[in-house]
Amino acid sequence: MARTLSFLLLGLSLLFPATTVHAQVWSLVWSDEFDVDGLPDPARWSYDVGGGGWGNNELQFYTENDPDNARVENGLLVIEAHKESFQGNAYTSARLVSREKGDWTYGRIEARARVPGGRGTWPAIWMLATDGIYGNGDWPDTGEIDIMEHVGFDPDRVHGTIHNHKYNGQLGTQKGGSLFLPTATTDFHVYAIEWSPEQIDFSVDGTIYFRYFNEHRGWQTWPFDRPFHLILNLAIGGDWGGQQGIDDTIFPVRLEVDYVRVYENTNLPQVAFTPPEPVAPGQRLTLAAEASIAQGSIDHVAFLQGDGVLGTVSTPPYTLDVDNVQPGCYRVAARAVDAQGWFTRTPASDLQIGAGDCPQAPYLMAPHPVPGTIEAEYFDLGGPGVGYLDLDTQNQGQGIRTDEGVDIESTADDGGGYNIGWTAAREWLAYTIDVQETGLYTLQARVASPQSGNRFRIEVDGVPVSEDVEVPDTGDWQAWATATAEGIALTEGLHTLKFRFLTGGFNLNHLTLTREQPTGTETGDQPGRPVRLEVYPNPSRQTSRVVLDLPEPGPVALVLYDVAGRRVRTLLEGHLPAGQQEIPMPATGLSPGLYLVRLNAAHHHETRAWLYLGN
């Protein structure tokens, strides 16, 4: 029963057209026709028992196996409320639940029912999540679907509503609609939802009066991808039902249900995927699938590696090219999706690129290109100690990659998807990257944390390339901001980038690497001839030389930095004439590694990478 105080009322003029075409073909999978007199069928129904208000200040006590409150007679389920003192409550009633006897994800759920009249009544046909994996593990984070609610003080109107983390009655942000139905208390009506991966339609006697759409912003707005169970109950009083008091002359009152039926959609996309032949590392891999549907149309086919989307194709032929595939052991599949989000996925096929044991490999088969964005959940394959280090072995977020130890959950950040959570100091994530051009890069990490003092560091090929980066206090685990590390030196080619959590206590959504000011002139009144800056030999095991060619005279500073951005030594500082100069760069006292030579002149700023191999 919704914890609500107010509803969005939709008039008849706003009803969805009755001619809406549905591609679903419904097949009955569960029902109760209530054709055997006595107590409700224990194979289908259990009871929620007790008083205490049920979170809404309701006044009834829900009993168990009491035919005065719940029984089947004359082909109807009768839930009857009585005015009687019991266990400190002034009324008794019943609340039937199908939990673990009837639980479903998606489908058509309908009940033909007649609701009672009279001030103070609050009957409902509704659904709650059977498991509690999202957010706080309870209402509202795990979701609620109110197929039908009715309050006796407003007898000519019925309501349908959803609740979740973002939209719920506690915040006054619940999403719902209502329908003017003057025969709700005198006639039987069919109250139904049609629930797909993309939306939930609420209807009465086939007339849709409210739709809730999947916003694709994570469990916070769509926890409705898990099993839910049915609840049938008749409450008395409460925050909503008792707003105008209770008329004690109406008792006993009853909610009557003719039947409850649950259907599944059998008009699902058909998809066939032929496992590809292996190719040599670094080559192009082509994936292909065939997809069709009996009624409706295919929206797209997605090609998958594990839980990651390699790419989607909207029109046949459904083929996808993956360039620069790396050595590794992969599990590839295809998923066909129709226009309403119904989908079918093929079994995964094993594919090994390269010979030998399964090495560390990029999750999406190809390295992450830099510049570009790396989704945090797509850390490398290889398992603990190779692709990641997580201090617990369970994926507490239960988002994707649930067989691995990294905690991944749906994110409420812009763009949806997933984020890494439940982080701890010393944990890390590894990513195979392909740097397109040598230079300095800025890394922007999308982070969220309700506290300050958290830090991370970036490493490349085992060498720190950033200072410790502070994570801001964003106020909430799903309030997102950007933490920035500048001056990250990267050389062209394949590398392993490691995101190291120096503290826990923050979530990570994605990393974006952008190249800083390209080499060449940058600002000011630019002379016609660019500056020239070269280092040779490069790489070297001894002293190198810097060749500098200036288009005009002026002040010059030439500084050597390590890859963490720390100044190592000043090679030159002073006024130079125009033309070519050679400046020696001795290696004395240097440790082997990557260094950066930085030129700052009046109108020019240049950076060159230098690799010192040691003696």
Instruction: Please name the amino acid found at residue 14.
Output: L
Q: Which two tokens stand for residue 163?
A: 């609740």
Q: Where are the domains of the chain?
A: 12-34+98-265, 270-353, 368-515, 532-612
**Cα–Cα distance measured from residue 369 to residue 378, given in angstroms and rounded to the nearest whole number:** 13
For residue 349, which of 430, 421, 288 has the smallest C-alpha distance? Answer: 288
Q: What is the mean pLDDT of residues 569-588?
A: 89
What is the bridge-based pairing of β-strands 428-435 and 368-370?
Answer: parallel
The dihedrals phi and psi of 234, each to the nearest 5 degrees, come to -130, 105
DSSP string across 65-121: S-TTTEEEETTEEEEEEEEEEETTEEEEE-EEE-TTTSEESSEEEEEEEE---STTE
- Each residue's pLDDT tens digit, 59-105: 999 999 999 999 999 999 999 999 999 999 999 999 999 999 999 99
Higher per-residue pLDDT: 376 or 538: 376
Instruction: Please name the amino acid found at residue 165.
Output: H
- Each residue's pLDDT tens digit, 19-50: 344 468 999 999 999 999 999 999 999 999 99
pLDDT band at 502 (very low <50, low <70, confident <90, very high): very high
Is 144 among the residues known to form the active site?
Answer: yes
* Selected catalytic residue, list 80, 149, 409, 459: 149
242 φψ region: left (φ > 0), alpha (ψ -120 to 50), beta (else): alpha
Contact between 513 and 441 under an 8 Å Cβ cutoff? The reply is: yes
Q: Identify the pLDDT of residue 132.
A: 87
Q: Identify the pLDDT of residue 547.
A: 92
What is the bridge-based pairing of β-strands 60-62 and 89-93?
Answer: parallel
Q: Is the pLDDT of residue 226 over 90?
A: yes
Q: Which two tokens stand for residue 5?
A: 């105080």
Q: What CATH homologous superfamily does 270-353 map to? A: Immunoglobulins (2.60.40.10)
Q: What CATH homologous superfamily does 532-612 map to? A: C2 domain (2.60.40.150)
- Each residue's pLDDT tens digit, 455-472: 999 999 988 888 899 999
For residue 548, which of 508, 580, 519, 500 has the smallest C-alpha distance? Answer: 580
Question: Is 12-34+98-265's fold the same as 270-353's?
Answer: no
Is 467 among the residues known to form the active site?
Answer: no
Q: What is the mean pLDDT of residues 540-562?
A: 87
**Cα–Cα distance measured from residue 147 to residue 284, given in angstroms and rounded to the nearest whole number:** 50
**How confident is the prediction for the chain on average, in pLDDT?**
91
Q: Express as a percent the part of the chain with pLDDT over 90.
A: 73
Q: What is the mean pLDDT of residues 412-420?
A: 90
Q: Is the pLDDT of residue 330 over 70?
A: yes
Q: Quick one: fold of 12-34+98-265?
A: Jelly Rolls (2.60.120)
Q: Identify the pLDDT of residue 525.
A: 41
For residue 608, which of 593, 594, 596 has the smallest C-alpha distance? Answer: 596
- Each residue's pLDDT tens digit, 106-124: 999 999 999 999 999 999 9
Contact between 564 and 467 under an 8 Å Cβ cutoff? The reply is: yes
CATH no. for 368-515? 2.60.120.260
- Each residue's pLDDT tens digit, 346-392: 999 999 999 989 999 999 999 999 999 999 999 999 999 999 999 99
pLDDT band at 488 (very low <50, low <70, confident <90, very high): confident
Q: Which two tokens stand for residue 3?
A: 């914890």
Contact between 428 and 453 under an 8 Å Cβ cutoff? The reply is: no
The SS3 call for residue 14 is helix
The SS3 call for residue 13 is helix
pLDDT band at 526 (very low <50, low <70, confident <90, very high): very low
How many Cβ atoms are within 10 Å of 6's Cβ, its own excluded? 10
Q: Which two tokens stand for residue 612?
A: 């010192």
* Selected catalytic residue, list 110, 144, 256, 375: 144
Q: Which two tokens stand for residue 180?
A: 């003017």
E strands, 119-220, in order:
121-129, 144-149, 157-163, 175-180, 189-195, 199-204, 207-213
Q: Is the pLDDT of residue 305 over 80?
A: yes
Q: Identify the pLDDT of residue 529.
A: 66
